[in-house]
A and B are shown apart, each in its own frame.
Chain A
Amino acid sequence: MDMPIYYTRAEYIETDTGNKVSRRATIAGPQNIILGGKTIISSGAIIRGDLRRTGPGHAVVISLGRYCLIGEGCVMRPPYKTYRGNFNYYPMKIGDHVHVGANTIVEAATIGNHVEIGKNCVIGKFTIIKDCAKIADNTVIPPNTVVPALALFAGSPGKHSVRAVNEDMKVTFAGQYVEDLPESTQEMAEAYTKQYYTRFQPLPNER
């Protein structure tokens, strides 16, 4: 049940607030990134805190809450757009107890608390994911999508819709609502993410 997940002590840096950041992760612009505490950044993850809004002063580009997990090989990039002729990046805010599966690309604007995102997903620019939502593995969420609270979204990998006008272009169905999640999703996500953090520990023979 509570099987430990081991890492080699040398690979992870542990902060005062219990964040564990892999030395094999790329943290660009660390001064613009906030980690809430007890959050794990896995190896190979890329966090682009350097892509900040133009202009003077200090700016938070990416903020992550407590008990989050950024899986191996994930890319977290703030969303951007051109507004009134000016190209700009916009901040990304992620709540507590959010797990992001391996190799997923996130360009969301906000992600609430107790959200689970599967592996190999693409979360498009300016996406808003509300509390206790879940994105299944291999789902593509197109830009500007809103995922409501307690909703499960999934794509249809393998199923393609073909445009009549452009026969060469195959298009995957956008990730969409599948079903409501159980009423106890919040408690489960909280227990799971806390337990995950406890299980995530250095190899015992290194202690």
Chain B
Amino acid sequence: MAPNVEYYCPCLAASPHPPPPHLPSSSFSFHPLHSLFFCEECDAVRCNRCVMVEVSGYYCPNCLFEVPSASVRAEKNRCARNCFHCPNCRNTLTVVASDPPEDADARMSPIVSTTLGEPPFFLYCNHCRWDSAEVGIIFEKPTGLAAQLQKYEDSAPESLEFERLKEHFEPYLRASSSSALPAASHHIHTNPITAAAASALARDIPGVGKYSALARNRIGREKSTQKQEIPDYKPRVEVGAASGLSAGGGEADVEYMRHLEMDSEVATLEQRWGNSWVSSLRTADLKPMRIPLQAKKSKRCPSCRHILIKPEQKAQSVRYKIKLVAANYLPAISVSLPHAQAALEMMKRSTALSKSASVPGDEHGAAAGTLLAGKTYAFHLAFTNPLYDPIQVRLKKAQVMPAGEARRPAFQVNLPSAAFPIAAFAEAWEYEDDEEDVFALEEEDMEMDGMGRDGRGRARTVGILEKRANVTVVGGEVILTKEARGNAKFNMLVSYTYRSDDPEPADDEMATPSRGHASSRAPDMKTFSFYTVVDLGPVVPRDESRVDPD
């Protein structure tokens, strides 16, 4: 794997410091920069694990119809037009007529066959050739199929039971939603139905409230404000027996399995996973599924609730009304190992000469980028400034040592100790096409580092190596002990100082509001710090390397 840098979101930790990189938990707290958000209000990085997600609109992923929220409920979160999944392979099914098509290809197109043709109609999969006639599902008209299928789904015993449950709780819900509304607004994920179910469960089964996150939020309020009694509910479908009705389960399934001839007679978990209710075990009983709707999502900061992501209404638009992503605030950092790149370079030049140009294979990169235990390597960190102002960056390596363990660290990292500048981002850089100079520069760098590695040029290895446009490349080095194992991975604290009073570049339509930080009149320097984890790659033990003459 190529060396990489990931950024820390502190949401999982009690302390602001990240876990040591060798702990498995570390990987859950670090994320690629492009997946992170930034809350200006809190001046903090947010990740997909901690942001609050809200649905801003529903659409069908197949016909792309934008479904109004009112219909979503009635249609049970699935498409009500002619969109169905093949129960066998998940392809989208096609409506076909039963008169034989003129040639095989007519079957491939959904547009053709629906308008012409003789009834009955059925659903056909052009990927695996499943068709709904096999399970006895045929239609008199090629329209309104979803409604007919939904009638099927809604008549499932579990579905009816669920409806009755909802009815049962209805009066209670109406009462509680009116009294508890102001308080409920602080926890938007709790919808009244789940809340009611959770509190009923907490009441009936001792101890359950302790483990339910929903109940935890509501139970306090429940005790004080809600004393209303709900009558006991008499289920019509017994637990466990439910599946005995039509859907198998228990003795019936055992009996069926006893007489199996092919394992393929049993539907796979993947094939049954998406069903709303318990379904039959048999492959031959699989029913077509109305395609589940997708949602466009807004995201909010978990602590101040400001919106970080707000998509445009149109389902297939990739634009956003609000998009506060961390990449517009924090410098992007990429790491490389010059010795690996030099090796890769050599290899590619020779292959390019022998055959055509090709994308560098990862296997080659891995072989060339080997870190040998007991050796010292230079690495490059390239910082790209996204702000319209120059910034000053300072790096600090976080302690690798696990607390309480008196183990000698397997490697030592030297980073430039002085702060270094990165020039401002300017749109003009984007249009500069004469980047040949840039490559020339890089080639020189590599030779320079070759010298640095054997100890003489150490001063030049650690420090600023290159400045171009809004990118500054600094060098660091890693000294591996002979005992070094695993990945050479360390946490790095990055602090950058910026002017917080810059005037907004007025004419620039590409500027996101984020790029000019909120102006506060008085010129004022601010510092923002964040943690990253730098992974230089796996260390190869010395013993294995002794084979080849050095």
Main secondary structure of the interface of B (DSSP, over half): mixed
Q: In this complex, what residue of A is CB-closest to B327?
A: A184
CB distance from A7 to the nearest CB of B (A): 3
B61/A165 in contact, CB under 8 A: no
In the bound complex, CA of A161 to CA of B87 (Å): 10
Main secondary structure of the interface of A (DSSP, over half): loop
In the bound complex, CA of A88 to CA of B336 (Å): 51
A161/B270 in contact, CB under 8 A: yes
CB distance from A86 to the nearest CB of B (A): 10
In the bound complex, CA of A140 to CA of B90 (Å): 12
A24 proximal to B (CB < 8 A): yes
B63 proximal to A (CB < 8 A): yes
Contacts of B316 in A (CB 8 A): 130-131, 148-149
Q: List residues of A (100-135) whose CB comes within 8 Å of B's CBs.
A: 102, 114, 125-126, 130-132
A163/B88 in contact, CB under 8 A: yes
Contacts of A84 in B (CB 8 A): 112
B325/A184 in contact, CB under 8 A: yes
Which of B318, B334, B356 has a CB less than 8 Å from the CB of A72?
Answer: B356
In the bound complex, CA of A150 to CA of B62 (Å): 14
In the bound complex, CA of A80 to CA of B345 (Å): 44
A8/B352 in contact, CB under 8 A: yes
Contacts of B255 in A (CB 8 A): none
Q: Mark interface residues in A162-179 (1 if CB within 8 Å of B CB, else 0).
A: 111111010111101100
A56 proximal to B (CB < 8 A): no
CB distance from B300 to the nearest CB of A (A): 14
CB distance from B446 to the nearest CB of A (A): 11
B284/A161 in contact, CB under 8 A: no
B271/A161 in contact, CB under 8 A: yes
B352/A203 in contact, CB under 8 A: yes
B352/A161 in contact, CB under 8 A: no
Which of A6, A151, A159 has a CB less than 8 Å from the CB of B357?
Answer: A6
CB distance from A108 to the nearest CB of B (A): 14
Contacts of B352 in A (CB 8 A): 6-8, 203
Q: List residues of B (321-379) whose CB comes within 8 Å of A's CBs.
A: 323, 325, 327, 334, 336, 341, 344-345, 348-349, 352-353, 356-360
A11 proximal to B (CB < 8 A): yes
A171/B109 in contact, CB under 8 A: no
Contacts of A132 in B (CB 8 A): 318
A148/B34 in contact, CB under 8 A: no
Of B18-26, B124-132, B390-398, which binds chain A? Answer: B124-132
A183/B323 in contact, CB under 8 A: yes
B320/A183 in contact, CB under 8 A: yes
In the bound complex, CA of A43 to CA of B268 (Å): 41
A81/B109 in contact, CB under 8 A: yes
Q: In this complex, what residue of A is CB-closest to B271?
A: A161
In the bound complex, CA of A171 to CA of B270 (Å): 14
A2 proximal to B (CB < 8 A): yes
B356/A146 in contact, CB under 8 A: no
Q: In this complex, what residue of B is CB-closest to A8?
A: B352
Q: Mark interface residues in A8-43 (1 if CB within 8 Å of B CB, else 0).
A: 100100000000001010000000000000000011
In the bound complex, CA of A134 to CA of B105 (Å): 28
6 contacts between A and B (CB under 8 A): A5-B359, A82-B105, A130-B316, A142-B127, A184-B327, A185-B318
Could you list 14 further interchain pairs (A-B, Cβ under 8 angstroms) beyond the known A1-B336, A4-B348, A164-B264?
Answer: A2-B442, A5-B358, A5-B359, A72-B356, A82-B102, A82-B106, A82-B112, A125-B108, A126-B109, A146-B62, A161-B88, A173-B270, A187-B34, A203-B349
B residues contacting A by CB (< 8 A) are 34-35, 59, 61-64, 86, 88-92, 94, 102-103, 105-106, 108-112, 126-130, 134, 262, 264-265, 268, 270-271, 282-284, 294, 297, 309, 315-318, 320, 323, 325, 327, 334, 336, 341, 344-345, 348-349, 352-353, 356-360, 382, 433, 435-436, 438-439, 442
A residues contacting B by CB (< 8 A) are 1-8, 11, 22, 24, 42-44, 71-72, 80-85, 87, 102, 114, 125-126, 130-132, 140, 142-146, 148-151, 156, 159, 161-167, 169, 171-174, 176-177, 180, 182-188, 198, 200-201, 203
